[in-house]
Amino acid sequence: MVTEKLYYQDQYLGRFTARVLKSETDKASKHFVVLDQTAFYPTGGGQPHDIGTLNGLEVYNVEEIDGEIRHYISEPIKVKSECVGKINWERRMDHMQQHAGQHILSAAFEEEFGYETVSFHMGKELCTIDLSIESLTEQEANEAEKVANIIIIENRPIETRWVKKDDLNKYKLRKEVAVNDNIRLVIIPDFDYNGCGGTHPKATGQVGSIEILHWEKQKNFIRVFFVCGRRVRTQLHEKHQVIQNLTVLLSSPQEELEKEAKRVLDQSKALEKEIADLKQQLNTYEAESLITKAEAKHSYKLIKELYVDRAFAELQSLAKNITSRSDEIIVLLINETGDTLQFVCARGKNISISMNQVLKEVLPIINGKGGGNDLIAQGGGEKVITADDLMKLLVDVISLKLE
Ligand SMILES: [Zn+2]
């Protein structure tokens, strides 16, 4: 069941009539029809399928399967009926621009630098080509983009030619052609010769322009992101919008944005450092104040404090700060947050007791977890007893060990 491929006779055909040769459902119970002729391009050669309508019914997918072009539609159309097909032209023209643009950009990289394109992907918003190289410089990308845009401005013809395998050696092809018969060459004279089954405009000028956006290193190649035609304006519009918003946010004109953003970031870093320094000072002040009101026991001094919703890291740092200032001190700090209790216990270096040991004896009572060493240990668990009772327990364990 061979369908006449109208998109190869006239790539600008947006409306056509055809007869339904076959109307079936596939394995996934989706309706499709096969026509005697079609202008719907099926997915292939890196180019996504067309969409549009058949007799007003939405054609949402077009695939070439087992030699037949299947038009997937929401409802069946009877065999032998005449139908009118309409292609979503905006989408097709976009595909033609991206596809032809890719030929031109790949050829530019190869002509200028000998960089070979190994694959092409046309995404919804961006296109990519993969170049079989290890690295790409800004200068090379700029140069390839410049050459590609010159080819576009020169508005060179884009020709297609059906050739036999034996005739291929007459053309300077970029790549070996994958098929043996029905070979279709897409030719930009004196610039590019390629085997390709996709749709392209008649001349390079219709690509509009090519813009390389960025590139990234992959395992064995460099992936170049680019856009052509209408997508260049879309990108420009989006980027312009971002810049506009930034000029308002930073109260700075476009040419000063980078400098201003850097200044704000530097300022924020300086402030962060200042806050950290101030916190440290505050911590020291708090440590000294607690030391002065430490309770004197016969062989050591004891600091015990209860807190609510205090950042635990702060308490750990406070405990360290205190024990670094006094060798004969024991610090017990408990924090209560919601249904949890956290505590840190630490000692000065002249007291012989393992704080980790103290922690281990108390943790099971609050179903807690934690750890540490002889000098400092911390943990947390459930508030099954009050913070006050937990403190009493800690004090008792320590008294038993030291008195
Ligand atoms: Zn092509």
Name the more confident of 131 and 165.
Answer: 131
Whether residue 132 is found in the same domain as residue 73: no
d(CA 126, CA 337): 49
Q: Among 226, 242, 258, give the residue marking a domain's end.
A: 242
Position 286 scores a pLDDT of 95
CA-angle at 348, arms to 313 and 381, nearest 5°: 40
What is the dihedral sign for C-alpha 273, 278, 279, 280?
Answer: positive
pTM of the model: 0.76
Asked whether residue 211 carries a pLDDT value surpassing 80, the answer given is yes
Q: Which domain holds residue 155?
A: 93-242
Report if residue 133 sits inside a domain.
yes
Query: Ligand 1 centre and the CA of 294: distance in Å?
Result: 83
d(CA 251, CA 319): 45
Query: Ligand 1 centre and the CA of 180: distance in Å?
Result: 17
Report if residue 313 sits inside a domain.
yes
Report if residue 28 sits inside a domain.
yes
Pick the closest to residue 196 from 206, 183, 205 (CA basis): 183
Query: Ligand 1 centre and the CA of 74: distance in Å?
Result: 30
Whether residue 120 is found in the same domain as residue 203: yes
CA trace torsion 140, 146, 152, 157 (10° rounding):
-50
Q: Stretch 368-392: mean pLDDT, rounded?
A: 96
Whether residue 63 is found in the same domain as residue 175: no
Query: Ligand 1 centre and the CA of 47: distance in Å?
Result: 8
Instruction: Specify the number of domains making up the chain.
Output: 3
Query: Ligand 1 centre and the CA of 99: distance in Å?
Result: 5
Report if residue 114 sits inside a domain.
yes
Q: Stretch 240-263: mean pLDDT, rounded?
A: 96
Asked whether residue 117 carries a pLDDT value surpassing 90, the answer given is yes
Contact 345, 305 (CB under 8 A): no
d(CA 21, CA 79): 6
Whether residue 98 is found in the same domain as residue 207: yes
Query: Ligand 1 centre and the CA of 196: distance in Å?
Result: 5
Position 1 scores a pLDDT of 67
Asked whether residue 367 carries a pLDDT value surpassing 80, the answer given is yes
Report if residue 210 sits inside a domain.
yes
Whether residue 148 is found in the same domain as residue 20: no
Query: Ligand 1 centre and the CA of 275: distance in Å?
Result: 59
Query: Ligand 1 centre and the CA of 199: distance in Å?
Result: 6
Contact 19, 40 (CB under 8 A): no
Assign 129 a pLDDT band (cuts: 50, 70, 90).
very high
Whether residue 98 is found in the same domain as residue 215: yes
Whether residue 106 is found in the same domain as residue 226: yes
Domain CATH number, residue 44:
2.40.30.130
Domain CATH number, residue 386:
3.10.310.40
Report if residue 274 sits inside a domain.
no
Q: Coil, helix or strand for 389?
A: helix
Pick the closest to residue 302 from 342, 280, 331, 282 (CA basis): 331
Buried b (16+ CB within 10 A) or exposed e, 21-46: bebeeeeeeebbbbbebbbbbbeebb
Q: Stretch 82-99: mean pLDDT, rounded?
A: 97
Strand order in the sheet with 210-217: 117-122, 127-131, 222-228, 210-217
Whether residue 45 is found in the same domain as residue 104: no
Report if residue 280 sits inside a domain.
no
Q: Among 71, 87, 103, give the residue marking a domain's end.
A: 87
Query: Ligand 1 centre and the CA of 198: distance in Å?
Result: 5
Reported as a single tens digit per residue, the pLDDT across 280-333 is 999 999 999 999 999 998 889 999 999 999 999 999 999 999 999 999 999 999
Q: Among 87, 106, 127, give the residue marking a domain's end.
A: 87
Whether residue 140 is found in the same domain as residue 211: yes
Domain CATH number, residue 117:
3.30.980.10
Whether residue 99 is found in the same domain as residue 231: yes
Report if residue 8 sits inside a domain.
yes
Neighbours of 17 (CB within 10 A): 11
Query: Average pLDDT, whole number, for the chain?
Result: 94
Place of tokens 């099954």: 384
d(CA 206, CA 100): 9
Position 171 scores a pLDDT of 81
- C-alpha count within 13 angstroms, C-beta hemisphere, residue 79: 5
Whether residue 394 is found in the same domain as residue 334: yes
Whether residue 187 is found in the same domain as residue 205: yes
Q: How does DSSP assign 205-259, residue by residue?
A: GGG--EEEEEEEE-SSSEEEEEEETHHHHHHHHHHHHHHHHHHHHTT--GGGHHH
Joined together, the tokens standing for residue 120 give 């092409």
